[in-house]
Amino acid sequence: MQALREAIMTQGMGLGTDIVKVDMFLNHRIDTALLFDMGKELAERFREDRPDVVLTVEASGIAIAVAAAHALGDVPVVFAKKGATVVQSPDVAQAKVYSFTHKRENVIRVEKKYLPAGSRVLIIDDFLADGQACQGMMALCAQVDCPVVGIGIGIEKGFMPGGKNLRAMGVKLSSLAVVTAIRDGHILLADD
């Protein structure tokens, strides 16, 4: 997606060999016009998959999920909540997610009634790196018998294994921009 590529190239910062800093337009300050263009583009890519609901995880996934759901004709959004511990409740689906960024294990959870069995789920997130968050959301969907019809991502770190692993599972995955490497502070992007 050209507008996102340009924002990454002109405003994004590469740190070290694996950090893509885009908090000036995506996950601390949000460029609202770009956000809604990203939502529209994700909607175009997944409209044929007829999602009933968009699933994301708090916090920074919420904005792009809402923008995509709006462009899909205002389908509902469910955002999984993060916690440190497993909750004892038969009404809650939950999955463990290891965060490489924060070097700790989190639990993500959703009240089961908000993902009724059979709902066609589109998973949306701002970033894809090791794929743990997406794998966790897929595990939640499996627990409530909801098919995952696709995964839409803002920025994928193509040099990390998340995308490859998810594609190997056969799920339809589409990312608006793919970072192939970070070299000397420069962010290298795959061609569209």
Q: Which tokens belong to 181?
A: 């490497």
Q: Is 31 in the site for a copy of itself (CB under 8 A)?
A: yes
Q: How far apart are CA 178 and CA 155, in angstroms?
A: 6
Q: Which tokens belong to 160?
A: 């990390």
* Residue in 36, 40, 165, 181 binding a copy of itself, rule: CB under 8 A: 36
Bridge pairing between strands 77-83 and 173-183: unpaired
* Residues 6+ positions from 35 with CB-CB distance below 8 Å: 26, 63, 64, 67
Q: How far apart are CA 105 and CA 42, in angstroms?
A: 29
Q: How far is the CB of 53 from a copy of itself (least distance, A)?
A: 8
Which amino acid makes up residue 158? G
Q: Which is nearer to a copy of itself, 116 or 161 (CB)?
A: 116
Per-residue contact flags (x/-) with a copy of itself for residues 137 to 176, judged by CB under 8 A: ----------------------------------------
Q: Is 79 in the site for a copy of itself (CB under 8 A)?
A: yes
Q: How far is the CB of 35 from a copy of itself (least distance, A)?
A: 7
Q: How far is the CB of 120 from a copy of itself (least distance, A)?
A: 16
How many angstroms from the chain centroid is the CA of residue 96? Answer: 16
Q: How far apart are CA 163 and CA 151, in angstroms?
A: 10
* Residue in 2, 32, 89, 101 binding a copy of itself, rule: CB under 8 A: 32
Site residues for a copy of itself per CB under 8 A: 23-24, 28-33, 35-36, 58-60, 62-63, 66-67, 69-70, 74-79, 81, 110-111, 113-114
